[in-house]
Structure 1
Amino acid sequence: MASSGVTQSIESLFGPPSEQINIASFIKDAQQLLLSESARPSPEQDSDVDMDIEQECSVSDIKEELERILDDPLFSGQLAKDHEQMIGALYANFARSRKPGKKPMLPDPENVKPEVLALQRELDAVPLKSWTLNTQSVMFIRPPRNADYNSFDCLRPTPEGAAVTGSSEAILRISLYNRVLWGPSYVTRICQHAYLASQTLQDVYEMLPCIYKANPGDNPAGMSPGCTICIENMLYSDTAAYSNQVLGHFASAKRAPTARPAVAHTAMGETKLASLSLRLHLPYQILHAGNCEHFMVVEEIRLYHPSDPVTGYPIVLQLTPPLSSLCYACHKVSATLSVAGDVRLGESPSLLCGPCWTALGESRDEEVIVTPLPL
């Protein structure tokens, strides 16, 4: 159902998809494997061999050294600074040009403390050839994106969410993606949740943050409210009317898909995740409120572990913080006010920061409305 541009972008973002995984069969096979391993006798010699392998492969010494360095503000700050300078130098060498008058910011050896110099000598003595970045590393380095950040610093269970009712349960980690406004062929992650296999596709849709869910009558296409999720060329919808609208759209589209999707016999609220066969790292389209489009990606499927939370599913794992709009006047800082009806501004409403609105001065027109923006 996706266009070729989106397909190419998706392949570069998510990698090759896996084979179809039947969730019910996966749970059954995994439980049988666990039972067979627990019932198998373990001789003492096997346990000795396992202990020797564990000691040989242990990285506790490296872990302790890393924790010692990163917990020290002097070392961690210097390492972060050196890393930024190294990345800047790589980009400068890769581009083969520098901005005139701009010199690289290198640390003054006289101002570096002896402890930092000793640490630097230890790092330079690492014999691994992959330890030092080369010019080809630039192709694999990118600055952090907004989707890399998380609005929460801990897991956020859903109030009155679903609970684990038995041992035969699996957990699915699912991410939801949006198209970006500046490039319709690109997508960005907006949130990630952990679901129980006993939950439904309707539960997945309920966790989708979208303005058209709050105002279903105000949608991009003027169609009736509804939702459908296309999984392996099957449409799972909340209403039959919306499925018919989607099929009618495909029938009248100039570039119709080669394989026309079929309507599933069960609705979204009746379709449990455990009844589906899903692929990892393959985006499945979510259409709602007309032509508002999102993507659902299954990142992980695993059995429930005793250390996992018992209640509160779906659990919020990541929520991308919203990007603040810049002030229309200075284009430097985030806007804090929405000004509507002011003839002095180029458009209405206009988004302004506090200093720009103060410099402009309040309008004497009583029809001007100034509304603070939510932070």
Structure 2
Amino acid sequence: MNRAFDSYFGPPSEPINVADFLQQANSAVLSGSFTNASWEQLTSEHRNAVEAEINESISDLRSSLEQVWDNPILSAHVLRQHESTVAFVRSQADTPAPKGRKRKRHDAPEGSEYAQEVLQLQEKLDGVNLRCWQLTMESALCMRAAKNSDYNALDAPKKAGTGVLHTLDLDHGNIGGTHSSTPDSLRSPSPNAIPYPNAVISLTVYNRISYLPSCLTRSSQHAVLSTQTLGDLLRVLPCASSNIPMEELDAEGDISGYNVTDQTGEHAGCLFSIEDRIYGDGGENDDYAEKLIAHFQKLPQDKRPQVKKALTSANETTFNVLTLRMHQPYWILHQSNCEHFFTIDQIRHAPFRSNPMKPLNIIYRLAHASDPPSGYPLTLHLAPTVQDLCRACGKVPAVHSIVGDIRLGESPCLLCGPCWRTMGPPKNTQGVMVVPLVIPFVNH
């Protein structure tokens, strides 16, 4: 059931033309229509009073939360209460308990020095009149243990490209940065370029589950600029197929080894399927888009997808010329038979500098110190890679696949570097091959 929920997308939004969105957003910002008329009608004293009340309320909430979470006794009590509530809801809803060893609960003994402090916190929590967030029996349908895709292997956004975020400076009436319709990967800064800000597009990439090919799991999340190309996105996708070592052939054409330093890297063949348009790799003889359409022509007429080859390739198509739908899965094919799917999560106007207390429409957001000014596409989330352990020590991930070595008792046999060095070279090297395993995408 959980896998089915993760593989369900939609409903999709109405088609959004990125170029039209940018034009409307820029016009609204430059004309000042993003301001709230009701807010502007207030007197300066009234506005100052509202701002002071908002800041004070946030400070009080933050202070009360920090007092609880910074105190290990109080935070442990809150966590125990939450676990007890979840366990009660599960038992009443007759749902299977999560697998794994149950934690032993350590309740504070009565009469301890912390009992009064905990009782005061509990009385304060019981006095809260807000009841809409309490867990009910129906909440059990949405409870599950954390999965691998829920964790983030990155502690900060990873800069994977050269794209620069252009911003509006409303205080000075100008636009910072340069803009060009040429893809970021091909253009160089020009002082004569027309200044215009970007749109930032957030998207999520999904992969098929090897043992459940009909289900998908989240692999990563990225932020790309509207001036960047589909090829710029493809180059930053974490994919094992892009790190496969190249085969070395002998005079007879048999595999004699692998070249670890020369990996497949570049995506010689790829395609994107977006809104009934196929964006290929632009090859003259082996364009993936033409191959896919030729394959569709062999299907019966009633089962033939109504798609057309786009006029531009993936490396020439920028996001600002596309029409996209939110939460609609789009298909990526590269490296011969490696598939990915991606959905658009958000299309937002580039951040701009202005009065931070001025109300804004929902399609805009303010610049923040955490917004990287460059390095787009950014990798925002990366699911940890699950690696096979060494068959000898069973403690560290394997880096070699040993084929044809009778000393190991199985072929292929996965070993880590230290264990393979400890084994030493085989006496008869004929027929023994050391195959390097794919190194997962790692952030530094």
| TM class by smaller structure | 0.7 to 0.9
Aligned to 1:22: 17
Change over 3 Å in CA distance of 1:253–1:44 after alignment to 2:
closer
Instruction: Give the secondary-structure state (helix, strand or coil) at the position aligned to 1:348.
Output: coil
Contiguous gaps of at least 5 residues in structure 1: 1-7, 219-223
Q: What is aligned with 1:197?
A: 226
What's the offset of the Cα at 1:116?
A: 2.6
- 1:276 is aligned to 322
State the distance in 2 between where 1:178 and 1:214 align.
Answer: 16
SS at match of 1:270: coil
1:231–1:285: 8 Å Cα contact kept in structure 2? Answer: yes
| Number of the residue aligned with 2:130 | 128
Given the superposition, is the C-alpha separation of residues 128 and 242 from structure 1 closer, same or farther in structure 2, using an over 3 Å criterion? same
Between the aligned partners of 2:160 and 2:300, the Cα distance in structure 1 is: 42
Report the equivalent of 2:182: none
Q: Which amino acid aligns with 2:326?
A: L
Aligned counterpart in structure 1 of residue 305 of structure 2, from 259, 265, 270: 259
Does structure 1 residue 235 correspond to structure 2 residue 278?
yes
Preserved contact between residue 167 and residue 304 of structure 1 (Cα < 8 Å):
no
C-alpha RMSD of matched pairs (Å): 3.9
Amino acid across the alignment from 1:118:
Q
1:296 is aligned with what amino acid? F
Q: CA separation of 1:216/1:201 partners in 2, compared to 1, >3 Å: closer, same or farther?
A: farther
Gap change, CA 1:270 and 1:169, over 3 Å in 2: same
Match for residue 211 of structure 2? 182
Amino acid corresponding to residue 187 of structure 1 in structure 2:
L
Could you tell me whether the CA contact under 8 Å between 1:324 and 1:334 is conserved in 2? Answer: no
Match of 2:254 in 1: none
CA change 1:91–1:312 in 2 (3 A) is same
CA gap 1:35/1:328 in 2 versus in 1, 3 angstroms: same
Counterpart residue type for residue 323 of structure 2: S
Partner-residue secondary structure (3-state), 2:227? coil
1:203-234: CA deviations, max 9, x gaps?
1111112232345989xxxxx95111011010
Percent of matched pairs sharing the same residue: 35
Do the aligned partners of residues 233 and 194 (structure 1) sit closer, same or farther apart at CA in structure 2, a change above 3 Å counting? same
Residue 221 (structure 1) aligns with: none
Distance 1:23 1:77 in 2: 48
In structure 2, how many angstroms separate the alpha carbons of the residues matched to 1:146 and 1:231? 28
Please list every run of 5 or more consecutive structure 2 residues that lacks an aligned counterpart in the other structure: 167-177, 179-194, 248-266, 353-366
The answer to whether the 8 Å contact 2:28/2:34 transfers is no
CA contact (8 A) 1:201 1:271 kept: yes
Report deviation, 1:73.
Answer: 3.0
TM-score of the two chains, using structure 1 as the length reference: 0.79
Task: Please name the residue that 1:37 is paired with.
Answer: 32
2:149 to 147, 150, 161: 147
Q: How many residues align?
A: 357
Q: 1:244 to 1:39 in 2, by over 3 A?
A: closer
User: What CA deviation, in whole Å up to 9, does each residue of 1:40-75 have, x standing for no partner?
Assistant: 787563555555655379444223211222233332
Tell me by how many angstroms 1:18 deviates: 1.1
User: Partners of 1:344 and 1:94 in 2: how far apart?
Assistant: 54
- Whole-angstrom distance in 2 between the partners of 1:39 and 1:299: 23
Offset at residue 35 of structure 1 (A): 2.6
Distance 2:345 2:49 in 1: 34
More deviation, 181-190/55-64? 55-64
For the structure 1 residues 188 and 104, does the alpha-carbon distance in structure 2 shift closer, same or farther, using more than 3 Å as the test? closer
**Residue 347 (str. 1) matches residue 393 (str. 2):** no
Q: What residue number does 1:168 align with?
A: 197
Instruction: Compute the displacement of 1:201 (Å).
Output: 1.0
Residues 11-58 of structure 1: CA distance to partner in whole angstroms, max 9, x if unpaired?
63x432111111111111112222333697875635555556553794
Separation of aligned partners in 2, 1:262 and 1:239:
14
Contact between 1:216 and 1:289, CA under 8 Å: does it hold in 2?
no
Is the Cα contact below 8 Å between 1:225 and 1:290 reproduced in 2? no
Letter in 1 for 2:42: Q
Looking at structure 2, the residues matched to 294 and 196 of structure 1 have their Cα atoms a distance apart, in angstroms, of 20
Shift of 1:141: 1.5
Kept in 2: contact 1:250–1:256 (CA 8 A): no
CA contact (8 A) 1:285 1:295 kept: yes
1:5 paired residue number: none
The 3-state SS of whatever aligns with 2:332 is strand
d(CA) in 1 for partners of 2:328, 2:435: 42
Matched, 1:211 2:274: no
Q: Which moved more, 1:165-174 or 1:177-186?
A: 165-174
Give the 3 Å change call, closer, same or farther, for CA 214–257 of structure 1 in structure 2.
Answer: farther
Structure 2 CA distance for partners of 1:147 and 1:103, relative to 1, 3 Å: closer
CA distance in 1, matches of 2:95, 2:313: 58
Conservation of the 8 A alpha-carbon contact between 1:286 and 1:294: yes
1:258-303: CA deviations, max 9, x gaps? 5321000011111110111111111100011233210121111111
* TM-score of the two chains, using structure 2 as the length reference: 0.68
